[in-house]
Chain A
Amino acid sequence: MSDPGGSAGHPSGDKRFKMLDAALRRQQYQSDALLEILHAAQELFGFLSDDVLTYVGRGLKLPLSRVYGVATFYNLFTLEPKGAHTCTVCLGTACYVKGAGDILQGLTEAHGVKAGGTTADGQVSVVVARCVGACGAAPAVVFDHQLTGQQTRAAVLERVKAWRSAP
């Protein structure tokens, strides 16, 4: 099963656990760095599996319940694997007033995916955010890590379609 020591790597030999170890070491295994470590883990693995949460708990000497409680409290942490791409639609007030709801509806109609879901082919996850801070250029959509302003329903659908038909 899992490895007993927090910093001795992972039996699977997955290199990403070594990088997680480095993050733990940088934080000197301080338990109040739990959020920082979870951020680092999610950056490495894309989501927080039970395995990763257990590993983090051991490293910081925290019970799994505490780690799990924190991981589920915050919106940015996800316990499910995500699609190859992420389309984050801002549903903050400014974007909502400028028609972000219509963009979301378009995604459901054209690609059969709802907020929080992933397209059937596993290519694109649709996420909803509460203000990404580009309200001046609303409505805003984040394509993977790229923040893009003044979006239209057609432009977003086009972008998602391109992702899905890429080889």
Chain B
Amino acid sequence: MNAEELQEIVERELARQETRRHRVAVCTAAGCLSLGSDRVKAALVRGVEEAQLADEVEVFGTGCLGLCEAGALVQVDSRQADGHVCRCLYEKVTEARAVELVRQHLAGGAPLPSGQLPLDDPFFARQHRVVLQGSGVRDPERLESCLAAGAYQSLQKALTELTPTDVIAEITASGLRGRGGGGYPTGLKWSTVHKASGPKKVVICNADEGDPGAFMDRSVLEGDPHRVLEGMAIAGYAVGAEQGFVYVRGEYPLAIDRLKVALKQAERLQLLGNRIFETGFNFRIDLRIGAGAFVCGEETALIASVEGRRGTPRPRPPYPAVSGLWGLPTLINNVETFANVAEVIRGGGAAFAAVGTERSKGTKVFALAGKIARTGLVEVPMGTTLREIVFDIGGGIPDGKAFKAAQTGGPSGGCIPAQHLDLPVDYESLVQVGSFMGSGGLIVMDETSCMVDVAAFFMEFCRDESCGKCVPCRAGTVQMHSLLQKLTHFEGSEADVAQLEELAELLKATSLCGLGQGAPNPVLSTLRYFRDEYLAHVREKRCPAGVCKGSAPAASAGAPAAEVSP
């Protein structure tokens, strides 16, 4: 494939799309699929065929449309007589509604009067989509559709117009930082691997996404796998690698299927493989499937797992950039990091850096979940305040309840209380308030969540997922969890709280990898902002949120009698 051939495919596909009066995009990402969108899509296809509208209407599956909780979502773009395109977004579509939609909107030309989401709602209007720009436009299972929407054009530009050093310079200028949690500058990492010596190098995409409550990476892989593959190929060219791996967690079967399809399609058109775009650059990508171990998201553990071993971390240095997979210099980046690359190359580093804050550039995708009116995926410029995300975009707390805390950064993160709602969300400011960006899971809790219980929940997670290689983490998470359990059962004392804090510092300082080092964070941050809740459990033997129902008899009058176990 060369530039002209690519252009030809793009034009043919665009011409084909122009002949359609309606383009119907059905969200077929995990959230909507779990609410039956595959059956809705089948009903739409069937309906269109029966109404003999196949020449006028295109029905296709697409990535997450954002408001997962209102799924199954269906987006209809209708071309008016004057060429203007009119968009409707239908929520909670069922098979029966799909039939109606065909009859009224697609055949009759009149949008359904109800069941539409207002597109000027802040949920949609406030977003700035870079990583998710293919969702709703691209059909992840049809390469032509992705090509028409711009896929692989940045790869072509990089290979034919830029040297590897130029590419790295653009990435550095963009200010892009790793979206896998730590926020390490991507340009710096690429340049380290580029400079590392060795005849062979490797690129790995970290698609382990182990943080509970996070589903950004999954959505990108399911909705736009080619964007990630393109980013990896550009990285391979920049650092001098000919082999890439995507390490994807086994819990994501759909993402795995879509990646397999995408790889095959890209190889067939020689967008991956040998002599890509008729240059001297070769790059192939293989899949590796994880098997359910949170610690495998840690880069050295991930490398061990790709090598077919137990996924246990090892001390760094040496860093993977110097000695990684099979001892080769290895570039590891997160899915969302790679998904930003094509945009940097397309528009240039400076344009990318125009969005975001001083030290955190570009956008960030957040997975909004928990006690929030609109759960789903949102992509906003770095530096958007927590208040805007939770209240304007997320619609606030349902059922008239009060906001209590937002948990970010998963098991290594922390809870941010109401007093910090006006915090601009970026890497540094989150750390300042004792939390962590992590991969972008944002779980909102209201007054019915107990912070001690939440801390115990995360500690249990870390205890279960500790690989057991080093003592502070293996034994410390067990101890911290049992202390927290004592508290939630109203059997704890103030000495226990003090010991909890001591252990937290110990784990932070002496654990080998980020799992053990980060595990105390939820405890420390809840202690920092919600110490009175801990103390209520200890001194008054009661849970202010009414979650913990200890086995000890409630001594205080504050505990409702009905909640005391016999």
Contacts and interface: CB of A to CB of B under 8 A. Distances in A.
B212 A93 contact: yes
A69 B467 CA distance: 12
Interface stretch (B277-285, B367-375, B471-479): B367-375
Interface string B286-324: 001111111000000000011111110000000000000
A33 B289 CA distance: 10
A39 interface: yes
Interface residues of B, number: 54
Given A70-B309, A135-B367, A147-B34, A94 B291 contact: no
Interface string B235-255: 000000000000000111100
Nearest to B460: A91
Contact of A76 (B213, B250, B445, B461): B250
B308 A130 contact: no
Nearest to B67: A136
Contacts of B375: 94, 135-138
A93 B441 contact: yes
A129 B305 CA distance: 20
B308 A70 contact: yes
B33 interface: yes
Given A74-B291, A75-B292, A147-B34, A97 B370 contact: yes
B289 A130 contact: no
Nearest to B69: A136
Contacts of A136: 31, 68-69, 71, 215, 367-369, 375-377
B466 to A, nearest CB: 12
Interface centre among B210, B250, B291 (most CB of A within 10 A): B291
Interface residues of A, number: 40
B291 A39 contact: yes
Nearest to B446: A97
B214 interface: yes
Given A39-B291, A130-B294, A93 B308 contact: no
B449 interface: yes
Contacts of A93: 212-213, 369-370, 407, 410, 441, 443, 457-458
Interface string B429-451: 00000000000010101000100
Q: Counting chain B CB atoms within 10 Å of each CB, which of A35, A70, A97, A98 scores highest? A: A97
A148 interface: yes
Contacts of B364: none
A147 B368 CA distance: 19
A147 B33 contact: yes
A78 B310 CA distance: 15
A133 B449 contact: no
B550 to A, nearest CB: 16
Contacts of A91: 212
B308 A34 contact: yes
A148 to B, nearest CB: 5
B215 A35 contact: no
A133 B30 contact: yes
B461 to A, nearest CB: 7
Contact of B293 (A66, A75, A132): A75
Contact of A98 (B32, B251, B305, B370): B370
B445 A38 contact: no
B449 A97 contact: yes
A32 B289 CA distance: 12
B158 interface: no
Interface in A69-127: 69-70, 73-77, 91-94, 96-98
Nearest to A145: B253
Contacts, number: 142
Nearest to A98: B370
Nearest to B377: A136
A20 interface: no
Contacts of A38: 291
B361 interface: no
B211 interface: yes
A34 B213 CA distance: 29
Given A93-B370, A97-B445, A138-B369, A131 B212 contact: yes
Contact of B291 (A35, A132, A138, A140): A35
B35 interface: yes
A132 B31 CA distance: 10
A91 B288 CA distance: 25
A61 to B, nearest CB: 12
A97 B397 CA distance: 13
Contacts of A134: 30-31, 34, 68, 215
Contacts of A9: none
A36 B253 CA distance: 14
A150 interface: yes
A152 interface: no
B218 interface: yes
A149 B457 contact: no
B293 A97 contact: no
A32 B304 CA distance: 9
Interface string B6-43: 00000000000000000000000011111100000000
Nearest to B287: A36
Contacts of A49: none
B94 to A, nearest CB: 13
Interface in A13-67: 30-36, 38-39, 66
A94 B69 contact: no
19 contacts: A34-B309, A35-B308, A39-B289, A70-B308, A73-B293, A74-B311, A94-B213, A97-B370, A131-B210, A131-B212, A133-B215, A133-B218, A136-B375, A136-B376, A137-B32, A147-B33, A147-B34, A149-B34, A150-B35
The 7 closest A-B pairs by CB, nearest first: A136-B68, A92-B212, A75-B292, A74-B291, A149-B34, A94-B369, A34-B308
Interface of A: 30-36, 38-39, 66, 69-70, 73-77, 91-94, 96-98, 129-138, 140, 145, 147-150
Given A133-B218, A137-B68, 7 more contacts: A32-B306, A66-B309, A70-B310, A75-B292, A97-B370, A129-B251, A135-B369
